[in-house]
């Protein structure tokens, strides 16, 4: 069954336009609640944990989802603002049947969406998403009043997640002596990340930690790191750490203000596991993973494979191979022995464990992996573009020729935004840039 509403990462869109409306979210909650009840084998009323990021629309959509789940006979626990990976953890630890986060991740404030997690803290299968969709447009058959679900604010859930994160930092180590700038993107980590890094001993300077409902991701966080880079240099800090609006991504900045992306952070975590003697199998990247990362893995005899872009595909490939480490250059990093999904805070703590234990600076640790120049261009488009056309194929062939057969080209439609993404990569920046311009001009000519 082809999905109508669910994309590669839940449901997402502009607030006020279908499907991001209160009416739809009531029906979505009801449909998910019915599916949940059908699959509930525990013999007691099913439950769902619902969290949200800091968008102003989250209050409206939270109430709508709550009403939908309650009308289907599901008990609702509301956490308030909390990172996406916290919901994955709490759903599992609290033995809830579903977990839901209301968020549009790194998108602007006027977008919103929803992601679901199973009782095991995993993204839902295509089968369950299709089952939910099949009920959304049907008439709501509200359960009897004595069967309605109850809703309550979840006490101590945030505290439990904070303790969970802190316990992933290597025992016996401390961040004392390190000055770290944290950029919380005015999002879901604003009241959580500072608590964690302070408790572990770091001297922290926090920026973009005052959400007002309208400033999430606005010139802040992992996709807008310039303010973090400036803050690290001006405060003479040892490093900076930036999360995105819902806290599942992380990027870092070294003491010189140089950006460190997800590929580099994943590499450092792999080095940490090697030095500690952990058996992690291999590493899963994506088609966007820098070629230099793959070459370094070959040099160290670390098995490496590429999955489709999207953390759910990385996670599925890790499960299939029974490996532990995977991620994307965007900062979505999955450490399977610690969490079921990507978690920006936990990923950062693993990098810090490696640095502290080996008494290395972030800059020094990255000397052994020099990424190839990689250019990513996002081309807005409301219309579908035929990326398999002869024109596009010819442009790709010409671009590869420009890079003398030593680079990579990837063109794909975004699964979360109305964009076509063009990526070129290779050893020579001038050639990579020329190839990217050619491809961009070609795609724009087809729109």
Active site residues: 105
Q: How far is the C-alpha of 368 from the C-alpha of 270, rounded, in Å? A: 13
Q: How far is the C-alpha of 230 from the C-alpha of 240, rounded, in Å? A: 10
Give Cα separations from 361 to 55, 245, 268, 353 (angstroms).
35, 27, 12, 12
Chain centroid offset of residue 274 CA: 25
- List the beta strands (DSSP E) in 133-210: 151-153, 179-183, 203-207
Q: Alpha helix locations (H) across 212-306?
A: 226-234, 262-276, 291-299
Chain centroid offset of residue 302 CA: 24
Q: How far is the C-alpha of 96 from the C-alpha of 83, rounded, in Å? A: 17
DSSP code for 296: H
Q: How far is the C-alpha of 77 from the C-alpha of 56, rounded, in Å? A: 20
Residue tagged 């609006």 (tokens): 245
- List the beta strands (DSSP E) in 370-445: 374-380, 408-413, 419-425
* Cβ partners under 8 Å of residue 69, min gap 6: 29, 30, 32, 33, 48, 50, 76, 149
Q: How far is the C-alpha of 185 from the C-alpha of 354, rounded, in Å? A: 25
Give Cα separations from 428 to 151, 330, 372 (angstroms).
57, 22, 8
Cα Rg, the chain, nearest whole Å: 22
- Tally Cβ neighbours within 10 Å of residue 234: 11
Distance from the first to the final alpha carbon of the chain: 29
């Amino acid at each position: 069954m082809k999905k109508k509403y669910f994309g590669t990462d839940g449901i997402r869109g502009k607030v006020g336009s279908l499907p991001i409306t209160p009416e739809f979210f009531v029906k979505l909650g009801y449909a998910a609640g019915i599916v949940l009840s059908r699959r509930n084998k525990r013999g007691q009323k099913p439950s769902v944990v619902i969290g949200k990021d800091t968008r102003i629309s989250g209050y409206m959509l939270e109430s709508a989802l709550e009403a939908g789940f309650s009308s289907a006979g599901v008990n609702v626990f509301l956490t308030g603002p909390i990172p996406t990976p916290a919901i994955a953890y709490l759903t599992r630890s609290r033995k809830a049947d579903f977990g839901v986060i209301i968020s549009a991740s790194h998108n602007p404030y006027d977008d919103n969406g929803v992601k679901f997690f199973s009782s095991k803290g995993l993204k839902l299968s295509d089968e369950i998403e299709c089952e939910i969709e099949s009920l959304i447009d049907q008439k709501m058959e509200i359960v009897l009043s004595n069967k309605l679900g109850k809703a309550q604010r979840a006490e101590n859930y945030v505290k439990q997640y904070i303790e969970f994160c802190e316990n992933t930092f290597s025992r016996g180590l401390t961040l004392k002596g390190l000055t770290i700038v944290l950029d919380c993107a005015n999002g879901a980590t604003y009241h959580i990340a500072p608590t964690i890094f302070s408790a572990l001993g770091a001297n922290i300077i926090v920026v973009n930690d005052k959400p007002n409902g309208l400033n999430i991701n606005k010139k802040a966080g992992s996709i807008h790191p310039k303010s973090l880079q400036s803050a690290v240099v001006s405060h003479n800090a040892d490093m900076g750490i930036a999360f995105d609006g819902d806290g599942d991504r992380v990027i870092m900045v070294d003491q010189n203000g140089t950006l460190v992306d997800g590929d580099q952070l994943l590499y450092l975590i792999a080095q940490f596991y090697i030095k500690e003697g952990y058996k992690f199998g291999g590493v899963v990247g994506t088609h966007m993973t820098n070629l230099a990362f793959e070459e370094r893995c070959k040099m160290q005899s670390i098995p490496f494979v590429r999955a489709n872009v999207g953390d759910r595909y990385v996670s599925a490939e890790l499960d299939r191979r029974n490996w532990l480490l995977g991620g994307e250059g965007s900062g979505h990093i999955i450490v399977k022995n610690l969490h079921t999904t990507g978690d920006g805070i936990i990923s950062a703590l693993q990098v810090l464990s490696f640095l502290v234990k080996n008494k290395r600076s972030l800059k020094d640790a990255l000397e052994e992996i020099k990424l190839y120049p990689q250019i990513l261009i996002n081309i807005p488009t409301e219309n579908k573009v035929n990326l398999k056309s002869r024109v596009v194929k010819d442009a790709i062939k010409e671009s590869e020729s420009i890079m003398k057969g030593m680079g990579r080209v990837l063109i794909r439609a975004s699964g979360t935004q109305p964009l076509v993404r063009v990526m070129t990569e290779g050893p020579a920046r001038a050639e990579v840039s020329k190839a990217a311009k050619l491809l961009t001009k070609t795609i724009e000519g087809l729109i």
